[in-house]
Amino acid sequence: MLPKIPFGRTGHLSSRVIFGGAALWNLNPAEADAALDLLLRYDLTHIDTAASYGESEVQIGPWMDRHRGRFFLATKTGERTRAAARDSLHRSLERLHTDHLDLIQLHALHDPQEWETALGPGGALEACVEAREQGLVRFIGVTGHGTTIAAMHRRALERFDFDAVLLPYSYILMQNPQYAADVEALLAVCRERNVAVQTIKAVVRAPWGDRPRTAATWYEPLDDQPALDLAVHWVLGNPQVFLNSVGDLRVLPKVLDAAARFQGRPADDALQAALAQQAMAPLFT
C-alpha cells in the first residue's frame, strides 16, 4: 500500500507514486495485465499515459472496462494546434475505453516556438478548454523535459490556470543551481495556487552513452535496490510532489517496493555516496 495525498485542487486522493504508462509501450496483453496486477497490489490510484506512448493507451483501455472508477486517468497530446489536439484527444478517449479523462496534458512543451503555438490563438490549449466545457476532460495540465522547463512552466501558469505540471526532479538534477532555483520558484507558485506537481526521471543513473541498452527507458535506470531506494525516498521526501514511475516493468517493482518502505528523506551524505558509487550523471545539463 502506498500513501495518498490530494492531487492539487482536483479533489482526488492520488497515490504518491503515479503509474507511468510508457512502461506499456510495446507489451502484449498478458504482460500488460501483469502490470495492472502490480498496480492493484500496491493500491496505485492514478495512471498517466500519452497518445505517443506506443500501444500504451490501447493496453490500458481494457483495464478501464473493469476498473475505471478506481483510477484517476491522465493522458497527453503532443499536438500543438486546436484541430490536431481535438482529434488526438478523441482518439485517446476511444483507445482508453472511456467517455472522459480526468486530466489532459500538453505534452513535452519545452520548445519556445511550440509553446507559443500551443498556448496561443488556435492552439492546442483551446482544444483542451473546449473539451473541458464539453465534459470530456475534467482538468488540464502541462508537461516537459530539460533544464529550462521549470521556468517555462512558471510562465505557462501566468498564461493559463493549469491544474497540474510535470517535470524532471531528482537529487542529482537539483545539484544544478539554476535548475534548483527555477524548480523552487515553480513549487512556490504551485503551493500558492494548489497546482499538482508530478515528477519524472527519479531513478536515472546516467544517459546510456555507448553502453548496451538493457532497459526499456531512454536513460539507464538505477538497478541497485539500495541506491534506487535513496533516489525514490529523496523525491518522496518532498511532501508536495508525486513520483511518476519508471518506463521499464522490470524496474517498476523495485520503485514500488522502495516507495512502500518510505519513512523520510535520506541524508545528503548518503546520496552523495550513492552518486559516486553508481557513477551517476544528470540526464539533462
Number of domains in the chain: 1
Q: Is residue 215 part of a domain?
A: no
Looking at residue 68, what is its pLDDT? 97
Q: What integer pLDDT is reported at residue 1 of this predicted model? A: 80
230 falls within a domain? no
Per residue in 86-120, pLDDT (tens digit) is: 999 999 999 999 999 999 999 999 999 999 999 99
Report if residue 112 sits inside a domain.
yes
In a domain, 213, yes or no: no
Reply yes or no on whether the pLDDT at 29 is more than 90: no
Residue 89 pLDDT: 98
Asked if pLDDT for residue 28 goes beyond 90, the answer is no
pLDDT at 13: 97
- Domain of 176, CATH number, reads 3.20.20.100
User: Does residue 67 form part of some domain?
Assistant: yes
pLDDT value of residue 222: 96
Confidence category of residue 9, pLDDT binned at 50, 70, 90: very high
pLDDT value of position 72: 98
* Mean pLDDT, range 16-37, rounded to an integer: 92
Residue 175 inside a domain? The answer is yes
Domain range holding 25?
A: 4-201+235-245
Average pLDDT, the chain: 96
In this predicted structure, the answer to whether residue 137 has a pLDDT above a threshold of 90 is yes
267 belongs to a structural domain: no
214 located within any domain: no
Q: pLDDT-derived band of residue 216, with 50, 70 and 90 as boundaries? A: confident
pTM, two decimals, is 0.97
3-state SS of the chain? CCCEEECCCCCCEEECEEEEHHHHCCCCHHHHHHHHHHHHHHCCCEEECCCCCCCHHHHHHHHHHHHHHHCEEEEEECCCEHHHHHHHHHHHHHHCCCCCEEEEEECCCCCHHHHHHHHCCCEHHHHHHHHHHCCCEEEEEEECCCCCHHHHHHHHHHHCCCCEEEEECCCCHHHCHHHHHHHHHHHHHHHHHCCEEEEECCCEEECCCCCCCCCCCCCEECCCHHHHHHHHHHHHCCCCEEEECCCCCCCHHHHHHHHHCCCCCCCHHHHHHHHHHCCCCCCCC
Asked if residue 262 has pLDDT above 90, the reply is: yes
